[in-house]
């Protein structure tokens, strides 16, 4: 799948520090926003990932749609990451601000975005969020860009009124470019049954979006790619820096999976 060059791409997360707009933001942290992101970028690329996904993870608790100052500063950081990166870089603006992610991608040249609630309804820790695929596709058309949309099916930290199968069918019907299944929360294992349920009703690529580790990778043999954050960090701690050795170990395991029987 474009823009990735490898089969079953391994996409590593860059979790940004709190940005302006978050109650956790501190003016003294401004210089760290880019430097820590580039530190993690170096570790991810040295370890052998196939793609990068940048997320305003440090802004928890999130707004349903990001404030303008968050979008502005995130654009600056993403642009700097793209300038240094050899791998494709994507954007995810939490909680589920697809238009912001699409705008940042179009402005910086990022080739893909992740949208947590692309269509349908999710009952999240920020309240009820309604997807708006039409708005996002219309914006992409207006921006005359070809940014790929990776849409979550039953996004984590949320409850959903439909089955995985129905949500998958709906996301495909609304013209997502690829789909993501995940566990119930950050770093939580994705159900292999959910992966299979999604794969059975769509021909779109389906990525596993949480809980991937070396010891469970083989259960996701049918996945079309992996998005990994916690497992690539020192001691598996979500707030820690990316660990090159962990990245390299998982990248090698994914390579073995590609080449296996």
CA distances from 98 to 1, 143, 170, 192 (A): 20, 14, 17, 27
CA distance 23 to 26: 8
Residue percentage of the chain with pLDDT more than 90: 95
Q: Is the pLDDT of residue 156 over 80?
A: yes
Q: What residue numbers bound the domain in which 89 lies?
A: 10-259
What pTM value is reported for the model?
A: 0.96
Partner residues linked to 13 by β-bridges: 53
CA distance 182 to 127: 19
Q: What is the mean pLDDT of residues 65-80?
A: 97
User: Does residue 161 sit in helix, strand or coil?
Assistant: coil
Residue 20 lies in a domain: yes
Q: Is the pLDDT of residue 28 over 90?
A: no
Chain segment 216-259, per-residue pLDDT in tens = 999 999 999 999 999 999 999 999 999 999 999 999 999 999 98
- Specify the pLDDT at position 1: 86
What's the mean pLDDT when you consider all of the chain? Answer: 96
Question: pLDDT band at 200, cuts 50/70/90?
Answer: very high
Chain segment 164-192, per-residue pLDDT in tens = 999 999 999 999 999 999 999 998 999 99
Helix, strand, coil abundance in the chain, percent, nearest 5? 40, 20, 40
Chain segment 94-135, per-residue pLDDT in tens = 999 999 999 999 999 999 999 999 999 999 999 999 999 999
Q: What is the mean pLDDT of residues 204-210?
A: 97
Residue 254 lies in a domain: yes
- Specify the pLDDT at position 204: 98
Question: pLDDT band at 27, cuts 50/70/90?
Answer: confident
Residue 2 lies in a domain: no
CATH code, domain carrying 228: 3.20.20.70
- Specify the pLDDT at position 29: 75
Q: Is the pLDDT of residue 64 over 90?
A: yes
Residue 5 lies in a domain: no
What is the number of structural domains in the chain?
A: 1
Burial (Cβ within 10 Å: 0-12, 13-18, ≥19) of residue 121: middle
Residue 118 lies in a domain: yes
Residue 146 lies in a domain: yes
The angle subtended at Cα 110 by Cα 106 and Cα 111, nearest 5°, is: 100
Residue 115 lies in a domain: yes
Question: pLDDT band at 26, cuts 50/70/90?
Answer: confident
Residue 3 lies in a domain: no
- Specify the pLDDT at position 165: 98
154: its two tokens: 């039953």
């Amino acid at each position: 799948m474009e823009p990735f060059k490898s089969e079953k791409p391994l996409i590593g997360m860059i979790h940004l520090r709190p940005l302006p707009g978050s109650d956790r933001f501190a003016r003294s942290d401004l210089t760290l926003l880019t430097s820590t992101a580039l530190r993690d970028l170096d570790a991810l690329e040295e370890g052998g990932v196939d793609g990068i996904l940048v997320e305003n993870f440090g802004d928890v608790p999130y707004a349903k749609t990001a404030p303008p100052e968050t979008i502005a500063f995130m654009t600056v950081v993403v642009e700097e990451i793209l300038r240094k990166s050899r791998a494709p870089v994507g954007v995810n603006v939490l909680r589920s601000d697809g238009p912001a992610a699409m705008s940042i991608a179009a402005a910086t040249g990022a080739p893909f975005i992740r949208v947590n609630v692309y269509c349908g309804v999710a009952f999240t820790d920020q309240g009820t969020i309604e997807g708006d695929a039409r708005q996002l596709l219309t914006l992409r058309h207006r921006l005359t860009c070809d940014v790929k949309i990776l849409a979550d099916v039953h996004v984590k930290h949320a409850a959903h009124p439909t089955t995985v199968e129905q949500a998958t069918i709906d996301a495909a019907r609304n013209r997502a470019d690829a789909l993501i299944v995940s566990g119930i929360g950050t770093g939580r294992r994705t159900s292999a049954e959910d992966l299979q349920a999604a794969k059975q009703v769509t021909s779109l690529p389906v990525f596993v979006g949480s809980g991937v580790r070396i010891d469970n990778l083989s259960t996701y043999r049918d996945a079309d790619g992996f998005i990994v954050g916690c497992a690539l960090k020192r001691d598996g701690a979500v707030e820690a820096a990316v660990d090159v050795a962990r990245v390299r170990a998982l990248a090698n395991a994914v390579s073995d999976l590609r080449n296996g029987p």
